[in-house]
Every structure is written in structure tokens, then in C-alpha cells.
Structure 1
Amino acid sequence: MPLTELINLRQLLHQTPEIAGEESATAEKILAFFANLKPDQTIQNIGGTGLAFIFKGKNPGKRILFRAELDALPIQEKGDPSYKSQTAGKAHLCGHDGHMTIICGLGEKLAAQRPVSGEVVLLFQPAEETGEGARRVLDDPKFQQIKPDYAFALHNLPGFPLRQVVVRQGTFAAGSTGLTISLTGKTSHAAHPDAGINPAQAIAQLIQTLPKLTEKLSTFALVTVIHAEIGSLAFGTSAGKGSLSLTIRAFDQDDLENLIKMITEEVKRIATTEKLGCKFSFVESFAVSKNDPGAAAIAEGVLKEKNLQVIEKPEPFRWSEDFGLFSQSCPSYLFGLGSGENCPQLHEPTYDFPDELIVTGVKIFEGIARKVNG
């Protein structure tokens, strides 16, 4: 298929975004594209709306997996491309439309020339943005049919020169989780706050102390207060309940888990002192994305052979990627592809994936597939 067809596909996906957990029409478009490529096996509804296409070699060998994401964001697009999102309040503002197209381009290459050995799996994962999709895919019994020896993924990166490849040894992107702490006391008249149990003092203490817990860790970690709520806007009432929401992130998985433990212990301590009930609710949990040295050697060997411009980033990225969970299940490698120094940042309402990256992404992924599977 000529490049113009892949660009048309990318722009069609951009026009018709679906958010996490709702990606059935997107999956249908991908399924229709692969119908012409005749993969050896197709797995549908993996982890929800997910899809996997398997291209098999004649000889035994390694099974490698390439992953793209199906979901868009619940944000209104403010840019004005000719293929602007046709769905109010939803848009591909992270480039998943481009990532899918790159994997579709890789599918074309594998259909034209099957791998010599082993298997190449092209996975389209749902619900990346909420940190739920990878877990659902890995927990799906169907995943055992495609459990890989290596997994690879890329993410486009605004702020880096167009087509520059951004690599890192070890941690590529932070792990993170959202946490809401709910505190329950006792409502009373505002004239008699002593007759109730108001969580205001506890929440004020937690806002002060929780972000400082990162000082006990030796590597980067961050606790960001994102929301706080106490009682309701009733001037005659002393609040009897409140909540505090945080985002917790770290570059090391053990540090992330230790930090979560320290936070919950500190909350329980303060809640007990203040005679409050407390509950914890975790959302949008992402594992640390850690690059395996063996997978890195394969990918970075290909980057060298293709004479691509490569930069090694000194620090991991502070944002999180759902691909991190794959790195806990098999040797994995995540790298970045520069989408231009002046490209709007990811999740900004004017962001749009640069179509110039499609060829580069396909070239790298095909190089990896050929290196491992021939």
C-alpha cells in the first residue's frame, strides 16, 4: 500500500476517536485493514476491544510483539486540520492514531514477506490512557497464545527534532498512580465544631506532610496534590467528611510501592489521632517502563544500522506509559520518536501526530522484526 493510503488511514482514525473502553469502531477499522493482509491468526476482543494479528515463519524461533494503543482522550480538539475530530469532546491528542498506523504499516511489510522463523505479533491495546488496558490484556487467558519473548513499543515525543530517536537504558518512563483518600468524621453545627469531628485539620496536615515523604527515597519520586474537598458550602455546618487526591510517581518500581506504603501508613496515623475513618481508592495505576538490556541491544543495533539520529536521554521521563506492565511480564523496550521541537505537547488541544513519522516508525519496527525473525 502506498504511503498516501497509510496517511489516509491515520487521518481517518484521527477523525473518529474513541476513548478508553469504547474503542469498538476503531478496532473494526483496524480489523478491516488487516483483512487484506491475511495474517496467520487473528485474536479479537483481547482485554476488551483489543486485537492481535500473528504472522508466522516456517521455522521455529522467537515470538516478538509490537504494541500500539487504540484509545483517544476525552479532550476537545482546538486545532483545525482538514481531518479534525468529528466527535465532540474526544480527540487523538496523544498520537495513538499515528502509533496504530505505524503498526498497520509493519503489518503490510510482514504480509509482503513473512518472517523466516518464529512469530511476530501486532497488538492493538485498549485503554492505555487510563492505565487499565495492559493489565486487562495480560490477564486475558487469550494472552497466553501471544505471550512474547520480547515486546517493543514507541511513543512520539514533541519537543525533540522530527524523526530523532530518543533512547534510555533502564527506566524509560516513571510509574505512577492516582490516589484518593476519603476521611469520615462527624458533622456538627458550625457554632459547635467541638461536638463534631471535622477532617479539615487532618487534610491540612496531609497536604503538608505527604509530599515530603519522597525525601526518604534515594531516587526521584514525586507526590502531587491535585484535589482537596472538605464538607459542603453550608455556612452553618462544620464538615464531617473530606477527601484528598494525589498523583504519586517514581522512577523505580520498588520506590513507587514503598512510597505508596508510607503514604497509607501516614494517613492511617493522622486519621487515628484525629479520630477519623479513612478509605483509599487507587486509579490510573501505571508500572515503571523499564528497558531490558537484551531487548535494548536488538533495537539499538537496528537504529545504528539504519543510520538514524539517536539521542540518549540522561533522565527518565516523568510521565507514565501503560507499556510499563509489559516490561514486568517479558523483556521489553520502549523508545521515543521526536515529533518536532515546535510540535504542541501531548494532550494539548492543538496537538496532531506528524504523518512524517509513519515511515520512520515502520522502518525501525521492521528492522527489529527482521533482526529477530528474519
Structure 2
Amino acid sequence: MLHNDPIAALTPQVVEWRHHIHANPELGFQEYETARFVADKLRTFGLDEVHEGIGGTGVVGVLRGRPGVRAIGLRAELDALPVLEKTGLPHASKKDGVMHACGHDGHIAMLLGAAKLLADNRAFDGTVCFIFQPAEENEGGSMRMIEDGLFERFPVEAVYAVHNWPGLPLGKIAARAGAMMAAVDTFELTFEGTGAHAAMPQLGDDPVLAAGAFVQAVQRIVSRSVDPQGALVVSITQIHGGNVGNIVPARSGCREPAASSSPLCRTIAKG
């Protein structure tokens, strides 16, 4: 540790904030306590402005440095996932079936740390907006904030964010030109036919079989319809059909959060 290193000195507190947030996760657009925790911390740091309730549960803190017209945004996400935590850690989730399994607790804590360090030493020109976004996981929280006037109220030249990456060695940062993370979209398909007894499937159409064939066939989009050097992933995450063990149902459906940095997947999802 460097002598008088402010980052090293603040790190234990940032870890403490992260553990608190991890132990008290909230789902998208329900991050009331998390947003309140963030807003309270920003106020104690002495930010010039702290705004709550943007796009639902979003928070924005404004910090002004030396006189200047330039402005940037630094962003983190507030929400957790509907996942049951079984880590057994001392700071494990206190809410059954809800967990910070994607690292947003760390993102929040890091952005709070950045706000604290910059507030303690305003040796920069212009303005920094600290944007804490709700509902990043599949719920469109960023768009809700934008529709609520985020960039009209807090105009910035660019917005920067980081995402944890467990496979990256400690102390390393990765960057690249172009898309870094996958965009997300969803689609639902319903296969309909005629139901039948499982012992006499020839008397009906089997939508479960059709859904299974689709799950395999849709992967050809990635392997045969997209440039191998492009980025695309298609993942079917839910299949629903039937409720009786010996009956072939008349209806089955697939649901997919399609994650991609390619517009192809979004076109398919909306089609």
C-alpha cells in the first residue's frame, strides 16, 4: 500500500458498503432501501445535488469541480436477481430467493467510493453525475430513467460504467473497441396442436416435440447465420407445456432472454 493512498484507505469502507448491499438485495423497481442507502451516502459525502425517484427508484448525484462546462456520467445498477443464495457467507442475502448474483452490489459500492474520493478532492474541471440505475436485469430501467428526463436534467457528454468479471486476474482491467457486453431482448413462442393420450400420440400433434426441435434448430442462427467473428448468443431459458404426466398437451411455449450485441437477435426476438 502506498503511503497516504486514499483509495487503499477507503477500500475497507467500500467493502463494508458492498457487504451491506449484498445482504439486503432488492429486485428491479423495488430497490427502495438500496436507493435510500445510496442517496444518504451521497449526501454525507457533500455532493452538490442528490436526486431520488428518477425512472422509479433511480438516484443521481451531482458533483461540481472547478469551473467548466464539460460533464460526464458514471453509472452503476441497483437491482438484484431472483436467485436463492447458498454461499453461507456472513454477508449472504437476508431475503429468501433474492440475491446479488451479478455483482451489482460491487458496482454500487465502487461508484459510491468514486463519489467519496472525488468529493474529497474536487481537482477536476466541470461536473460529474453519479447515476444509479434501477432494474438493469431485463426490466429496462435505463430507458425509464431516460424517459423521465435523465439527460435533459443532467446533460453529459458520455456515460462510463464497469462490470465485474470473475475470470479476470485481480488488479487487471479489460477494455475493447466496440460492444463490450451483450444487449438483451426477449421473445416468446407458442406451439399449438391437438392434444392426445401419451400412449396414442399419433392421434394428435405434439407441440412439446416441436418446441424441443426449435430449441436445437435456433442455435443454427449462431453457427450458420452470423459471421463467426461477430458477437451473438441465443439462450432458451424457459419451456412450459402440459400439466398431466400421461397426456401430450395441445400447447407448449418457449421463452428466451436473447442476449446479443448484434441487431440480428433483436430482429428475431421482435419477429
Shorter-chain TM-score category?
Answer: 0.7 to 0.9
Query: What does residue 278 of structure 1 align with?
Result: none
Does structure 2 retain, via aligned residues, the 8 Å contact 1:225–1:247? Answer: yes
Shift of 1:194: 7.3
Please say if 1:217 is aligned against 2:217. no
Deviations 1:148-191 (A, max 9, x none): 21111111211221111111111212223332212334446678
Q: CA RMSD in A?
A: 2.8
TM-score (normalised: structure 2): 0.82
Query: What does residue 113 of structure 1 align with?
Result: 121
Query: What does residue 172 of structure 1 align with?
Result: 180
Does structure 1 retain, via aligned residues, the 8 Å contact 2:186–2:269? Answer: no
Say which of 95, 107, 131 aligns to 1:123.
Answer: 131
Say which of 243, 261, 273 aligns to 2:253.
Answer: 243
Please say if 1:47 is aligned against 2:55. yes
**Can you give the 5+ residue segments of structure 2 that lack an aligned partner in the other structure?**
1-5
The DSSP-based 3-state class of the residue aligned with 2:264 is helix
Q: 4+ residue runs of structure 1 moved beyond 4 angstroms? A: 186-198
Shift of 1:197: 5.4
User: Relative to total residues, which structure has the larger strand share, 1 or 2?
Assistant: 1
Shift of 1:192: 7.8
Please say if 1:146 is aligned against 2:154. yes
TM-aligned CA distance change 1:202 to 1:118, over 3 Å: same
> How far apart, in 2, do the equivalents of 1:193 and 1:67 lie?
54
Please say if 1:260 is aligned against 2:269. yes
Aligned AA for 1:79?
Answer: T
> How far apart, in 1, do the equivalents of 2:46 and 2:16 lie?
21
> How far apart, in 1, do the equivalents of 2:212 and 2:22 lie?
43
Aligned AA for 1:230?
Answer: G
> How far apart, in 2, do the equivalents of 1:103 and 1:221 lie?
29
> How far apart, in 1, do the equivalents of 2:92 and 2:199 lie?
56
Deviations 1:188-241 (A, max 9, x none): 667887776553454344234322133122224233333333333153x55221
Does structure 2 retain, via aligned residues, the 8 Å contact 1:213–1:259? Answer: no
Query: What does residue 12 of structure 1 align with?
Result: 20
Query: What does residue 239 of structure 2 align with?
Result: 228
Q: Percent identity?
A: 28
TM-aligned CA distance change 1:243 to 1:13, over 3 Å: same
**Can you give the 5+ residue segments of structure 1 that lack an aligned partner in the other structure?**
265-374
Query: What does residue 134 of structure 1 align with?
Result: 142
Deviations 1:240-291 (A, max 9, x none): 2111233433333x23334436xx4xxxxxxxxxxxxxxxxxxxxxxxxxxx
Aligned AA for 1:233?
Answer: V
Please say if 1:64 is aligned against 2:75. no
Please say if 1:33 is aligned against 2:44. no
TM-aligned CA distance change 1:91 to 1:209, over 3 Å: closer
The DSSP-based 3-state class of the residue aligned with 1:122 is strand
The DSSP-based 3-state class of the residue aligned with 1:74 is coil
Aligned AA for 1:245?
Answer: R
Shift of 1:103: 1.3
Shift of 1:48: 1.4
> How far apart, in 2, do the equivalents of 1:204 and 1:161 lie?
39
TM-score (normalised: structure 1): 0.61
Query: What does residue 3 of structure 2 align with?
Result: none
Tell me how many residue pairs correspond in the alignment.
Answer: 260
